Amino acid sequence: MIFVDTGAWIALSDRSDQHNIDAVKIYDLLKQQRARLLTTDYVIDETTTRLRYDLSHKAAINFLDLMERTEKTGVLSVVRIDEKFFQDAKALFRKFDSAVLSFTDCTSFAVCRKYRVTEAFAFDQHFPMLGISLVS
């Protein structure tokens, strides 16, 4: 299972993003490999909000439609952040005071730990901090 982070979703959705070409190649490869993808409702929230503010309402709706389609086909599993994940994320957030991490990053890390995810489709270096390699 491969965790998909906000940066990857944005790069796929925004042709002007610096990582767009790489993101499309990686996503196409993951589809060919029939990889199972994992993300969270917090990542979807963060991505939808950024697309709405940075691009357009239409881009945000297109992203939400993509999430619905890929979840319905079983390619994507969306984890809902419950109280346990929330508490784990708070502990991680407190622990990493020297790294610039968002709270959403910490919820993602908590989910990756629980599901023993070892790879992430992401473009930042936060995942390798926790031993999760980036898909390239």
Q: Which amino acid is at 90?
A: K
Share of the chain above pLDDT 70, in %: 99
Domain around 60: 2-134
Q: What are phi and psi of 79, to 5 degrees?
A: -90, 130
Could you tell me whether strands 119-121 and 133-134 are parallel, antiparallel, or unpaired per DSSP bridges?
parallel
Query: DSSP string of 33-69?
Result: TT--EEEEHHHHHHHHHHHHHHT-HHHHHHHHHHHHH
Q: How many domains does the chain have?
A: 1
Give the confidence band of 100 by pLDDT, cuts at 50, 70, 90: confident
What strands lie across the sheet with 37-40, from one edge to the other? 76-79, 37-40, 2-4, 119-121, 133-134
Interval 39-94: pLDDT, tens: 999 999 999 999 999 999 999 999 999 999 999 999 999 999 999 999 999 999 99
pLDDT of residue 64: 98
pLDDT of residue 106: 95
Residue 109: which CATH number? 3.40.50.1010
Q: Which amino acid is at 40?
A: T
Lowest mean pLDDT among 33-37, 97-101, 108-112, 115-119: 97-101
pTM of the model: 0.94
The distance from CA 53 to its chain's CA centroid, rounded to whole angstroms, is 18
Q: What are phi and psi of 69, to 5 degrees?
A: -65, -45
